Amino acid sequence: MEKNIVESIKNAIENKELHAYYQPQFDAITGRIISAEALVRWIKQEGEVVPPFFFVPELEKTNAINDVDWFMLEEACKTISKQIAQGTAVPISVNFSRWHVTEDAFEDKLNRIVDGYNIPHNLIEVEITESALIDESEKIREWIDSVRKNGYSVAIDDFGSGLSSLQFVKDMPVDILKIDKSLLSQNCENEKERVVLESIFYFAHRLKMVTVAEGVETDEQLGFLRTCSCEKIQGYIFAKPMPEEDYLKLCMERSGIYESKDILEVQTPASASQLLLDAVFMKYPLVIFSNLTRNSFYMMAYENFSATSCPSTGNFDELIVHGAATMHPDDREAFATTFSRENLLQAYKEGKPSVSLLTRQLGDDGVYREVETTDYFVKHPSVDDVLVISLCDNRS
């Protein structure tokens, strides 16, 4: 690589060797293109395409990267104005390095460029990487506020790649959380990876952030991300970054076609399960999956279930002890006996499909409510363990 990269990139901009490539972001369910990210490419005169890895990290050591970012914003504006003329404009996100946070008159420059092309501000997204947030968080928060005040969306890029914590992100008033591809490295098949991802999506959605998964390459990843209600997919599974011409063409092809489709036609089994679960939660605010053979459970509680102070996973026997303690004193014994593992395993052996009991349960608010708990025995296709799904009906 060239000795003085800063000089080389300056020349590259002058010689029109820097180009914006676009990687579309797809609606996770409908497969429509709903936005894109602008990614810089250095295309040398002889045609060699140099990816950002070879020059961006070096430029990011100083504010020399800023020239690239402003150049890319301008390119994105040009592309959007072409799309506006075609009637298919979707937002484009542009990467901004942390140096912009201390750049003089950042807001004015941003508005000057975007307004110069008459682009509605909601079509521009400003991406800032997670690692930038760690120092001087107060200053960054003010910067994010000022960008959003002008009508632009702000995204945190590469979330999960570095050291920033959920605690830290929660204080940033951002619109979009981009989940880094390193979090998908186990192909979403590893239980721990799934738990981490589920928690991140849950957290982001509770804070009203739109989520984008980056680096999605496989059907397994896509299937799992849909179950997490991830809104946008950016990855090779659908499209690689591409030159503007190809991007504009793809947007024309992929807009409208999917729009008119019945959502049920493109529904995946995983997202259908999510809908089914929503319906189940309307009647049963608490659903518990238990493995009687291994003495374990996993609990899914809808937000407004009356007694929330329960662990979400753990030892089944302890769960029953804990559960009995939250019952009306007169119901405790019946609850503990009916739902003991011994009794449930016996019922299973006798071929009963389910076991049911009505109790009065004490909520976190100190009020007793009638709860009907029904334990259904279910067979897992790949194990012989005795599994139970408990549906708890909050009657009052």
List residues binding ligand C2E (CB under 6 A).
23, 39-40, 51-53, 56, 65, 68-69, 72, 95, 97, 157-158, 181, 214-217, 234-236, 241
Identity at 362, one-letter amino acid code: L
Decide: is 95 part of the binding site for Mg ion (CB under 5 A).
yes
DSSP tag of 371: E
Decide: is 60 part of the binding site for Mg ion (CB under 5 A).
no
Q: 272: which residues sit within 8 A by CB, 6+ positions away?
A: none
Q: Whose Cβ is closer to ligand C2E: residue 216's or residue 386's?
A: 216
Decide: is 127 part of the binding site for Mg ion (CB under 5 A).
yes
**Interface size with Mg ion, residues (CB under 5 A):** 5
Q: Whose Cβ is closer to Mg ion: residue 178's or residue 360's?
A: 178
Q: Residue 65's binding partner, choosing from Mg ion, ligand C2E, none, with beta-carbon cut-off 5 to 8 A by kind?
A: ligand C2E
Please tell me the distance from the alpha carbon of residue 260 to that of residue 293, in angstroms, as a whole number: 48
Please tell me the distance from the alpha carbon of residue 46 to that of residue 152, in angstroms, as a whole number: 37
Q: Residue 306's binding partner, choosing from ligand C2E, Mg ion, none, with beta-carbon cut-off 5 to 8 A by kind?
A: none
Q: 149: which residues sit within 8 A by CB, 6+ positions away?
A: none
Residue 348 has which token pair?
Answer: 């299973």
Site string for Mg ion, 180-219 (x = CB under 5 A): ----------------------------------x-----
Q: Residue 375's binding partner, choosing from Mg ion, ligand C2E, none, with beta-carbon cut-off 5 to 8 A by kind?
A: none
Exactly one of 60, 69, 130, 157 binds Mg ion (CB under 5 A); that residue is: 157
Of the candidates 302, 308, 288, 292, the residue with the CA atom closest to the CA atom of residue 347? 292
Decide: is 158 part of the binding site for Mg ion (CB under 5 A).
yes
Please tell me the distance from the alpha carbon of residue 165 to that of residue 161, in angstroms, as a whole number: 11
DSSP tag of 369: E
Q: Residue 211's binding partner, choosing from ligand C2E, Mg ion, none, with beta-carbon cut-off 5 to 8 A by kind?
A: none
Residue 211 has which token pair?
Answer: 């989520």
Of the candidates 124, 104, 154, 111, the residue with the CA atom closest to the CA atom of residue 36? 124
Residue 132 has which token pair?
Answer: 């930038």
Residue 126: CB minimum distance to Mg ion, A: 10
Query: In the complex, which residues of this chain contact Mg ion (CB under 5 A)?
Result: 95, 127, 157-158, 214
